[in-house]
Amino acid sequence: MISGLAARIGAIALTAGLLFATGLPAQTPQRGGTMNIIMSPEPPTLMIGLNQTTPVNAPAGKIYESLLRYDFDLKPMPHLAKSWTVSADGKTYTFKLQENVTWHDGKPFTADDVVFSADVFLKEVHPRSRPVFLRMERIHAVDAHTVVFQLKAPFSPFLMMWEPSTAPIVPKHIYEGTDFRNNPANRTPIGTGPFKLREWVRGSHIHLVRNDAYWQAGKPYLDEIYYRVLPDAGARAVALETGAVHLSAFTDIEMFDVPRLKALPNLEFATKGYEYLAQMVWLDFNLRTSPMNDRRFRQAVYHALDRNLIRDRIFFGLGKPATGPIHSSVPHHDANVPRYDFDPKKAEALLDDMGLKRGAGGVRAKVTLDALPYGDVYVRLGEYIRQALGAVGIQVNIRSGDMATWGDRVRNWDYEMTLQVLSQLGHPALGVSRLYISSNIRKGILFNNAGGYENPRIDALFDQAASEVDDAARQRQYSEIQRILVEDVPVAWLLELEFPTFIDKRFRGVLTSAIGVRDTFADVHMVPAR
């Protein structure tokens, strides 16, 4: 198994003569080298404006860029915008752009691209930036390198939204006047990032090469990056262990393999680089379908699931049981919400109250769960959900599919229940509200209010909190939001995720921001042989 994998990957993976570098002093990065990175599952596209799933974000973040980056404390840093100012009333943001940036096809990047991206493209296709840009009174270019955003009302997290998966800047000259979702450029993405797409061999690899015209002088350092499609979990672990691949993240490595790999001398282990994401896994209900449209059913499901078991037995201690819609590390989290303890008897009482009595075989109801194709850990989570709900009389049929199939089903509301893993993006106005406000129920788009939850009070509270200037009042509003949502259970929040990242010690500069492995990798470099 090891030799077969090495034959497939090793020729490109290893640079002859390099030794594992442990304890080397800091030194000036040198250019050159190839980095091989695990890819699982294979993404359906690299057009990050149209699809923000985890498999898309990592390679696309090397191709597309946004105005800002964020340090590990979530403080904004310059990127395509070299500076910015905010008016005293908090309603006008002025960005000064870098002046020597070109698109991968050689065309100049200007303020017109930013205006088009925010005011046209992302408003049309992007589920989480769309609600923000709808708050704009006007977006306009003052000159080729100055863009102004005028808001209808203050929006405190506005500076938090400028990372590639939330607000990617796309080329106006490629997309203006086209069918955005079917533009041929979606297959050959054109960005401003440090790497360009050279080749995508489906089922094998995505090959990125250095953008020699990149706007940051001397960068990137690497010659090329290969994203290696490795669907088998065992093969991924072996490839990392033997040095055939150099990086794993998210759920690439099975949680039960983490302790063993942490002990290897050639690998660095980290859990940082996910601060911006604050990801959570939950069970999503399509509220248009019965019995999911009854709050008592959703509450029963929540009581039937043991979140401590999910953390300890399925995720091997990596994570924290979720208590509601806002991640505990995100501003305005409120722990004082109604609790859904693991209580199968209470679950059965709720189902009895609905009139869902046990029938043949003890079955009260039958539902379909669309499996989340993010790795074996979610296969096991789906199997546990089937077992746990079966114990209270809910028969679960698991429907499988690849990433594209799963995305099509969810975006087109062709599901009853599914698992979701989504990011909170540093603030509830960015990563949370999009999932529950009725204005974000839009068929054909992923990662919005796909379940169809509608509550006018929630709509009003999210709107008020987003523009509230008083901290105490804003906290009261977000606390009420959490209380209402936890009572309604539009989704069943399961676990605040913690991910293991393994980095081959021959590479430096991998984790430099709060989006970790999804960042540009302009600073990634290999250490010289000793």
Total residues found in the chain within this entry: 530
CA distance 93 to 78: 14
All residues at 6 or more sequence positions from 459 whose CB lies less than 8 Å from its CB, including other chains: 437, 438, 439
Q: Percent of the chain at pLDDT above 90?
A: 87
Confidence of residue 215 (pLDDT cuts 50, 70, 90): very high
CATH number of this structure's domain 68-175? 3.90.76.10
Confidence of residue 375 (pLDDT cuts 50, 70, 90): confident
In this prediction, residue 341 carries a pLDDT of: 97
CA distance 394 to 20: 52
Is the pLDDT reported for residue 368 higher than 70? yes
Average pLDDT over residues 24-45: 86
Is 491:420 a contact under the CB 8 Å cutoff? yes
Is the pLDDT reported for residue 20 higher than 70? no
State pLDDT tens for residues 309-322.
Answer: 999 999 999 999 99
All residues at 6 or more sequence positions from 312 whose CB lies less than 8 Å from its CB, including other chains: none
**What separation, in Å, do the N-terminal and C-terminal C-alpha atoms of the chain show?**
30
All residues at 6 or more sequence positions from 493 whose CB lies less than 8 Å from its CB, including other chains: 280, 282, 322, 323, 324, 325
Is the pLDDT reported for residue 1 higher than 60? no
In this prediction, residue 15 carries a pLDDT of: 35
Domains 68-175 and 280-497 share a fold: no
In this prediction, residue 119 carries a pLDDT of: 97
Average pLDDT over residues 180-192: 96
CA 467 to the chain's CA centroid: 25
Token pair 């983490």: residue: 258
- Per the structure block, which two tokens stand in for 294? 């009854």
- Per the structure block, which two tokens stand in for 402? 């690849």
Backbone angles phi, psi at 345, to 5 degrees: -65, -40
> Does the structural domain 2-61+193-274+499-526 have CATH classification 3.40.50.300?
no
Is the pLDDT reported for residue 160 higher than 50? yes
CA distance 363 to 18: 60
Q: What is the DSSP letter of 345?
A: H
- Per the structure block, which two tokens stand in for 333? 């989290």
In this prediction, residue 4 carries a pLDDT of: 45
State pLDDT tens for residues 262-287.
Answer: 999 999 999 999 999 999 999 999 99
Is 44:488 a contact under the CB 8 Å cutoff? no
Is 325:493 a contact under the CB 8 Å cutoff? yes
Can you name the CATH fold of 280-497? Dipeptide-binding Protein; domain 3 (3.10.105)
In this prediction, residue 530 carries a pLDDT of: 62
**β-sheet with 136-143: strand ranges across:** 81-86, 92-97, 146-151, 136-143
**Domain limits, the chain:** 2-61+193-274+499-526, 68-175, 280-497
